[in-house]
Structure 1
């Protein structure tokens, strides 16, 4: 939706002077808009307010959509937004929007936002966003949007990914419903034993806005960017009440517009904290609209809902850890569980749909560096396991799945309780040649080079998932006995390159950054087996449906591993 005035607070003219849509030199469906951040765009910290940023993003994206469609367009939804940088007063915000793909009546617009500092001549990436717009022709004219003209390899990539993102949007609610049926989304033992949980009652915020002509677009509907800005305001207040300091918007979990509102409507905004996750908090916002008649009868229209994720800094400029929240009432339990489900989907979307190409992570294997690679292999797995902030993702009777997100890297940890001695599990799991017996993701696994008793290089083949070709890996497996009582047995895996195993046209070569097993003795004939994997693009397709709630492949593979170990333990006794 197109904004009729950039600033409803009386600064419209000044804002317009510093906002330029650069049409020349750009393809149809592509727009660039630049703004100088003035004090009236900022919060009390002198930083660009998140609400103003959302307003500008929606304005620029709508201009791109309307330029491609040749008619008025309205915002249907805005995908997850990850905000990486902030802008301060005096700096410039540069927003580029381009239609990635047009469907029948809707289109996806990709938006990239950067902050520029003219004093230092530097530029930093603020965020990337994807919005869906629907063309609204005048009268009864039918819409059949023209296709996007693809010129560069990046155009083709975004065109292809747009279809995948659309598939995820269409199945978002089904994925959410599937996750909500999973009872493990409620509590875990750690949460149950936490006596410092806090109530979210005090974080409930309600606000009302009267839609005036400056808040409307050229069609008379409330400007979508303005609604998003108002939503961010109440959500920020809610999050700040929990942390007792200024909250910083870090990401948005999809704005979805369910219906229009017009000039004269009363918009009621309600926000409340749903759940906390270590150093972040989710706030839910619901928007209802009333016209004069509806206002009297108390019959609102639900026009928008969104979930915003905030963080906060302490006096030392470190992110604070939020307290865990209570879920006592039926409504608070629903919101508590819903936040966990959305986080699972959000994490999966972020990493599965990322278009950022990965750098090669495999190191050449030779006699000169084998000691270093072996040490690095063991150390990387040990450090990964020791990280704080693992979040429970799902649990079964004897299997728990955790996720960890840090610096744009997603990791999983699967804890399995097994009735077998730790030393026996160690021997069985370190023989990767046995893995095809219990892991359906392994077609074959064979030793191609030995570098001592505890270091071997394996060649692994895996079945195709989405791609037409199967995937293969060349990995270094390093294993270690415990140094002292209480230490785990370690089996670490990472990719290497080997001259005798070059990539083949028959297989798509995958890479493993850090993976393996830590085995802890918990009794005479019992142990805990923890499997960890720092996910890469080569691994992600095999667990994608699990992360989005469409399958239980991780849990099923873990159960198969447990069954294999408990069945095979009799044979290790004879070794």
Structure 2
């Protein structure tokens, strides 16, 4: 093993080469002892290496012992053969109170062909262990490069998703039972009981970390082992692990504990393009006990496997016959998790240019649409190569042409508190008080305290032409701390209840919104962003080329609107704390 301090050789904004002090790099050559039956690196072994690298990064930042709290979903893009070199890079993206997010990237290298490829990316949460002096207060990170700033900003949004991960499944199961489908009986189905595996491991000193607790990576490797056996019993073949849903460590285990690992196939799935089952979900849990004490729940995970043929294509799998009651519940939950995986892959993982401008909205994909909406705005906010196009009375217009897309931003300062500015701008119904392009605005759905869907109508840009209307998801976010802005993110969604009409051309917005930074208690920087689409370009093209100053007029009107209402009673201040905010307070590490 080689573990080394290897700086992030990125260029900081001041032009100097930046070395990230939390980065840890591990290089491993895959030996036969690390491989499975196919001569490929065991996924369990890879998880051990990833966890140890991430832990070293977390401890380098914290200056004390750290434990794994959770690992986000992992999708394995490629397998790794014996003789290949695996490179794992981990670095802290953001520290909160006593927890921190560590980003992990895994790449592979063929030494004989000099070919490199990406294997997977993961985000792990580590918690600094309490010291003799009490609870640890982590020092905060200061991002130096554009990439670090982006990951720092997105870490807060990913943390938000982790805190309500369980709620998403619960809500989907309670509201979409009919959608998920009933459990059907098939004559050729394999009884789920046949795939049940139970194994016990005695935690010995070699399995412990430097804190004398069971190494988290070792637990994950044991879980992957029993899950693979379950999958093999369904297919009577050697399965390949494709993805893992979030690992969440609920408690520690120690040397001398007996670790009981249980797994079973929950469901077998069809791919969208075929009628037969091509993948399966295996549920696995780990429980610990010592002596005659009751078993403690340590960890749970859900792993998706495929069986690949000689051309690396998925083979047909048998159907599963779930056990009564609990088996049918797991069968339904597996369908819900699959839907969430597809939503996440479709909405979050794809490149922006490959995602339709308007994504269908339904309550089950709300969290991922909201995440994508806020993340897209944060990504635009972290870019540092904007070009100043014009400036008039302290209202600045910037443009950015990149990857055949045109983005623009408008920046100004107002003598209004950031919180009040946020409350005034986040209600889009009031935007028509200062923006002449907002002719009509109505609330369609108040999804929760932070997400609202509006219908907005705008006038025609040409005489006698039709106006446009937009169905927009508005996601608002308060800062996690003083280094974050207030955010109001906008993107188009589609609703079956609001199809396009003959009276209006349906416009679409891929990414737009406001970032609101507190400069002082009375001065706020307001920045408006828009990733220009065909529906938006007619309204802004003359401003960008310098033939018009309508943007100056609109944002001067916005400034006047904010100034006139800076002392008005905030409607948001009268609202109860949101469930998400309450959960964040309860789970703050």
Please state which band the TM-score falls in when normalised by the shorter chain: 0.5 to 0.7
Q: What SS is found at the alignment partner of 2:476? A: coil
Q: Count matched residues.
A: 415
The yes-or-no answer on 1:464 pairing with 2:474 is: yes
Q: How far 1:22 moved relative to its partner?
A: 3.0
1:85 deviation in Å?
1.2
Change over 3 Å in CA distance of 1:266–1:192 after alignment to 2: closer
Aligned partner of residue 86 in structure 1, secondary structure: coil
Correspondent of 1:123 among 98, 112, 116: 116
Aligned to 2:78: 85
Is this contact kept in 2: 1:442–1:463, CA < 8 A?
no
Give the TM-score normalised by structure 1: 0.63
Q: What do residues 340-399 of structure 1 show as CA deviations (whole Å, max 9, x unaligned)?
A: 232333444455555x7624889xxxxxxxxxxxxxx9xxx9xx9xxxxxxxx999xxxx
Is 2:285 aligned against 1:280? no
Distance 1:185-1:234 versus aligned 2 partners, 3 A rule? farther
> Does 2:457 match 1:444?
yes
Q: Which residue of the other structure, out of 239, 247, 252, is the alignment partner of 2:239?
A: 247
SS in 2 for 1:169: helix
CA contact (8 A) 1:444 1:462 kept: no
Q: Provide the rounded CA distance (Å) in 2 between the counterparts of 1:230 and 1:23.
A: 30
**Contact kept? 2:192, 2:323, Cα under 8 Å:** no
CA distance in 1, matches of 2:295, 2:454: 51
**CA contact 1:101–1:159 (8 Å) conserved in 2:** yes
User: Could you say if the C-alpha distance between residues 345 and 472 of structure 1 is closer, same or farther in structure 2, counting changes exceeding 3 Å?
Assistant: closer
Pick closer, same or farther for the CA change 1:185–1:203 going to 2, 3 Å. farther
Match of 1:309, SS?
A: strand
TM-score, L = length of structure 2? 0.61
Q: Decide whether the 8 Å contact of 1:436 with 1:444 is kept in 2.
A: no
Q: How many Å separate the matches in 2 of 1:332 and 1:306?
A: 16
Moved more, 169-178 or 105-114: 169-178
Give 2:4's match in structure 1, choosing from 16, 21, 40. 21
Are residue 167 (structure 1) and residue 160 (structure 2) matched? Answer: yes
Could you say what secondary structure the match of 1:442 adopts?
strand
C-alpha distance in 2 between matches for 1:150 and 1:89: 37
Q: 1:160 to 1:493 in 2, by over 3 A?
A: closer
| Structure 2 gap segments, 5+ residues each | 9-18, 271-277, 366-371, 373-439, 446-452, 478-486, 495-499, 509-532, 544-550, 556-579, 581-589
| Superposed displacement of residue 87, structure 1 | 1.1
Task: Mark the runs of 5 or more structure 1 residues left unpaired by the alignment.
Answer: 1-15, 363-376, 385-392, 396-400, 402-407, 409-433, 451-455, 480-490, 508-549, 551-575
SS in 2 for 1:320: coil
Q: Is the 8 A contact 2:266 2:327 kept in 1?
A: yes
C-alpha contact (below 8 Å) 1:81/1:252 kept by paired residues: yes
Counterpart residue number, 1:37 = 30
CA RMSD, 1 decimal: 4.4
Q: In the superposition, relative to structure 1, how do residues 280 and 144 fare at CA in structure 2: closer, same or farther (>3 Å)?
A: same
Conservation of the 8 A alpha-carbon contact between 1:23 and 1:32? yes
Structure 1 residues 473 and 128: alpha-carbon distance in aligned structure 2, compared to 1, 3 A threshold: closer
Equivalent position of 1:289 in the other structure:
288
User: Does residue 227 of structure 2 align to residue 232 of structure 1?
Assistant: no
Distance 1:159 1:350, change over 3 A: farther
